[in-house]
Structure 1
Amino acid sequence: MVFGPASQLGVSLFEETPPLERFPNSSSEDLDVIIRAVYRQVLGNAYVMESEQAVVPESQFKSGELSVREFVRALAKSAAYSSRFFETSPRYRFIELNFKHLLGRTPEGLEEMRSHSTILDTKGYEAEIDSYIDSDEYQNAYGENIVPYYRGYKTAPERTMVEFTHMFAMLRGASSSDFKGSLAGKSAVLNKYVIQEIPVPIIPPSGGSVGDGWAFQEPDRTASTSLVGGGEQGKVYRIEVTGYRTKAKVNQISKFRRSNQVYFVPFSRLSEKYQSIHRQGGIISSITPV
């Protein structure tokens, strides 16, 4: 089950679409639907040009020579996948995307990331792809003829809240594209959060109006944070703010140079700062005591 309203979390389409499976009596139209679904899943919803289509594996799949699992393997080893996610991305970005595309979840922790990094070092790119598709987990979840789908956002026994929140950092709604990257660009989204096993705020995907919410991106080390007032009144609170935009036009970025900022505010000035942020067009993603 989904923890919270699927529509607000950006996963309603995934919830409303049942898994696709190839059957012995699947029609030509059914196979075309499955092929499109495999492209969408494996290539992270990226646009695929005609010249990038896996023509031979498609033909073999339609003729029954390849199962869904083997078609997934062929596409994940294709130049279209390699050029998008391997050749142009840092190692841990590539690995976290492999988990997302091929197993439908995020890495469980640092050791899992390290093991796949070792496979890349010692056995190479194709062995890394095989390590997901040949795993017992893949077989148990999808078998030979189910198209892989996103599972990591669902609550389940033995799944920690950390993993649950990490999936939402990677899954920014049904219209997002992994090829274009996240707010972090081509950098790994989960790197330090996986290493330190830190949960992240669950923020609705970016929308068409100011109130729809934006994903928060941690400022880099060169970005300044602000301490508002002193801490003489006791607790200090950390406020994460996203998507500063003007109120004049939808989605127009305001005069603020950075759209993600962090403030440290004493309790006595919390209400004042809260109102100030909203007047300036910011979206508060979280308020936590320091």
Structure 2
Amino acid sequence: MTTATLTCPANQDRSQADDVLRAAYRQVFGNRYLMELDVQPSIEALFMNGDLTVQGLVTALAQSETYRRLYLETNSPYRFVELNFKHLLGRPPRDQAEVSEHVRRLADQGFEAEIASYIYSDEYLNNFGIDGVPFARTATSVVGESTLAYQRTQAMDPGYAGFDTNGASVLQTSVASSTNPTAAGARKVVGGGERFTISWTSRLQLGSVRRSAQRSVVSYGSLSKTIQSIQAQGGRILFIANA
């Protein structure tokens, strides 16, 4: 995991440019080994010649077919968005509204627009500029970020020698219920037969009561699918608690 900002101004020396290039690959592709990736010499050449800023390099890598293959085509939209926050903004999603916004953008505007929305945001420019490599900003305490941001960053960290893999969302329950992901993970280990109550509101009018609060009681094994189903219908999770 990249934990320091690297910058690469125009006319940099070759050694500095190589360091920045490696850091960008490592950050954007979730610490995967370069040998696993389809390196694009034309993009690297533009960067090494000073014709591409670091921001442009990050965009080219994140919008590449390799990134699409590794993270979009093999994951749910929720997991894909979760990883985009980590790789491109250096933090986990803060709340369900952020995740929903990006899932909708992916569905309505497509892959490239979803990627660009992070890299050309004010948040990105304020933290990394055009010549900084994104890094894990919430790996330590950060002013303006909650304790949950640190906890979620730790939950998503595969370790120094690990890398971001395909699979189920790590933070779905935590983000939907505004809870510590470590506690959610502990429940998974202990509670194979444990049951949970999900309180949620529907965007649909139910009889004469609009957006009536609903409750669903499910097993841990059904928790993720139930959350996805509620969100797919436009519902909003109010809280998740032990039944």
> TM (normalized to structure 1)?
0.62
Give the direction of change, closer, same or farther, for the CA distance of 1:82–1:200 in structure 2 (3 Å limit).
same
What CA deviation, in whole Å up to 9, does each residue of 1:172-228 have, x standing for no partner? 32222003x5xxxx10000011011001338xxxxxxxxxxxx8582598x335xxx
Report the secondary structure of 1:117's partner residue: helix
Please give the alpha-carbon distance, in whole angstroms, between the structure 2 residues aligned to 1:21 and 1:93. 29
2:31 match:
45
Q: CA deviation at 1:56?
A: 1.1
1:224 paired residue among 193, 207, 210: 193
Superposed, 1:158-197 pairs within 5 Å as 158-179=144-165, 181=166, 186-197=167-178
Report the secondary structure of 2:181's partner residue: coil
Letter in 2 for 1:36: R
For the Cα contact (< 8 Å) 2:171–2:181, is it kept in 1? Answer: no
Please give the alpha-carbon distance, in whole angstroms, between the structure 2 residues aligned to 1:102 and 1:112. 14
1:36 match:
22
* Cα-Cα RMSD: 2.6
For the Cα contact (< 8 Å) 2:37–2:66, is it kept in 1? Answer: no
Structure holding more helix per residue: 2
Please give the alpha-carbon distance, in whole angstroms, between the structure 2 residues aligned to 1:158 and 1:224. 38
Please give the alpha-carbon distance, in whole angstroms, between the structure 1 residues aligned to 2:14 and 2:148. 42
What CA deviation, in whole Å up to 9, does each residue of 1:1-47 have, x standing for no partner? xxxxxxxxxx8x83xxx421113342112111111111000000112
5+ residue gaps, structure 2, are 195-242
Percent identity (aligned): 35
Larger radius of gyration: 1
Superposed, 1:180-259 pairs within 5 Å as 181=166, 186-201=167-182, 218-219=188-189, 223-224=192-193
2:238 match:
none
Please give the alpha-carbon distance, in whole angstroms, between the structure 2 residues aligned to 1:123 and 1:219. 38
1:59 match:
45
Give the direction of change, closer, same or farther, for the CA distance of 1:44–1:139 in structure 2 (3 Å limit).
same
Please give the alpha-carbon distance, in whole angstroms, between the structure 2 residues aligned to 1:109 and 1:198. 10
Report the secondary structure of 2:81's partner residue: helix
> TM (normalized to structure 2)?
0.74
For the Cα contact (< 8 Å) 1:60–1:66, is it kept in 2? Answer: yes
1:265 match:
none
Letter in 2 for 1:163: A
1:107 match:
93
Please give the alpha-carbon distance, in whole angstroms, between the structure 2 residues aligned to 1:161 and 1:79. 35
5+ residue gaps, structure 1, are 1-10, 203-214, 226-289
2:111 match:
125
What is the number of equivalent residue pairs in this alignment?
196
1:90 match:
76
For the Cα contact (< 8 Å) 1:54–1:78, is it kept in 2? Answer: no
1:148 match:
134
